[in-house]
Amino acid sequence: MNLRIIASDFNASLKTWKRSKGTMFWTIAFPVLLILIFGAIFSGADEVTYEFHVQDLDDSDWSHTFINILDNISVVDIKTVSSDENITAFIEKETLSVALVIPGGFGEAIDKSFFDEEITVNVSFHYDPSEQGSSASILRSIVTSSLQEFNMQLSGGRRIIGVDQISTITEDFDFIDFFIPGMIGFTIMTSCIYGSIERNTKFRKDGILRKLLTTPITRAEWILAKMLFMLFLSFVSTLVILVVGTLVWGVSLHINLFMIVFMVVIIIATSFLFSGIGMIIGRFVKEEETADMAGGAITFPMMFLAGTFFSLDMMPEFMQSIARILPLYYVNEGLRNAMIYTNIDKTIFNTAIVLIFAAIFFLVGVFVTKWKED
């Protein structure tokens, strides 16, 4: 590995990109345009609720005390949910964004905790992750700080009462929240596939690959340099999409280390995945225009079938099962779960699938492409 060569190649790619209006359009302007257009079509007014539904399954002195603490906070308007309601069904029926459940045994646990230091008890905070911008985050912080205060009063700081956060993904999250992760996946897919196709068809026809074969650069150095550049593009696109989405439509992201790490992993894997697919196309379709068409024939249907812009739940069953075999589906789901739903299990699951797809397609791509001629 020669870093000077890699840096020089990266620099050349960057210059080329800055001078190519077409690529600039697809990596930056196109996603921004789509966000603006789709956002305008689907944006609905955000209704902010400070009503806080609390279900008290304990009905003890301690639970009453805690509810009182919450109720005393001026912006919170406590609504009691009857203890025979199924909370999940209730949330769905009333289209609530948040609800708090105090479990049975809450009071008993607090009583015991005075004698047994090990005892703790958790309340459950149900929330809809797609509505993060509005009331949910405010109520969440209210619950956490109230609990802190309550714990302080009870034990001088020992954490007796904790919070279980339960996400209640309902069908009616904001469209833009659904759309932004899809836009990121789609943009990375197109720029990596078409970039890779260009390198493996046009550069071959123009003799650039043959030329490079007779210079000291190795294929590993070339691939690494190009992949670093594709990653750079993917992150630029992602950043632009997130900034525009947040500034214009108020997409509210979950910025925490765990999710950022997963987002980064998914973006890197996606870049490798679709660069690999581009290599495979370039291997079998030698002519650049035809290869671009083949790229379009793969990306365009995949964009719809993988639930990029519209939820798959609106589609018939067989279309949903098609989506399950498309790599972009897992990219979309992974990004959504990481950025929007903050569903850790699903994030890990989808990321793992994306990584497997990436490893397979990239390795096959590297394996089937060669610089040598027959």
Could you give the residue ranges of the DSSP H alpha helices within the chain?
Answer: 3-19, 21-24, 30-42, 61-71, 87-94, 106-113, 137-155, 175-205, 208-213, 219-249, 257-284, 288-305, 317-323, 327-336, 344-368
Report, in Å, the least distance between residue 20 CB and another protein: 6
Report, in Å, the least distance between residue 202 CB and another protein: 8
- Residue 100 pairs with which residues in a beta bridge? 54, 125
Report, in Å, the least distance between residue 221 CB and another protein: 9
Of 16 and 145, which CB lies nearer to another protein in the complex structure? 16
C-alpha–C-alpha distance, residues 297 and 287, integer Å: 15
Backbone φ and ψ of 79, nearest 5°: -115, 130
Of 4 and 44, which CB lies nearer to another protein in the complex structure? 4
Report, in Å, the least distance between residue 24 CB and another protein: 11
Of 15 and 159, which CB lies nearer to another protein in the complex structure? 15
Report, in Å, the least distance between residue 22 CB and another protein: 11
Of 73 and 213, which CB lies nearer to another protein in the complex structure? 213
Of 84 and 373, which CB lies nearer to another protein in the complex structure? 373
The three-state secondary structure class of 293 is helix
Angle subtended at Cα 223 by Cα 221 and Cα 227, rounded to the nearest 5 degrees: 115
Which residues fall within 8 angstroms of residue 270, CB to CB, at 6 or more apart?
Answer: 185, 188, 189, 192, 234, 331, 354, 358
Of 216 and 316, which CB lies nearer to another protein in the complex structure? 216
Report, in Å, the least distance between residue 224 CB and another protein: 14
Report, in Å, the least distance between residue 374 CB and another protein: 7
Of 19 and 82, which CB lies nearer to another protein in the complex structure? 19
Pairing of strands 77-81, 98-102: unpaired
Which residues fall within 8 angstroms of residue 334, CB to CB, at 6 or more apart?
Answer: 262, 266, 346, 347, 350, 351, 353, 354
Report, in Å, the least distance between residue 226 CB and another protein: 13
Binding site for another protein (CB under 8 A): 4-5, 8-9, 12, 15-16, 19-20, 205-208, 210-217, 371-374
Contact 337, 351 (CB under 8 A): no
Of 257 and 372, which CB lies nearer to another protein in the complex structure? 372
The one-character DSSP state at 218 is -
C-alpha–C-alpha distance, residues 278 and 294, integer Å: 10
Residue reference for tokens 């690999």: 276
Structure tokens, 1: 């590995």
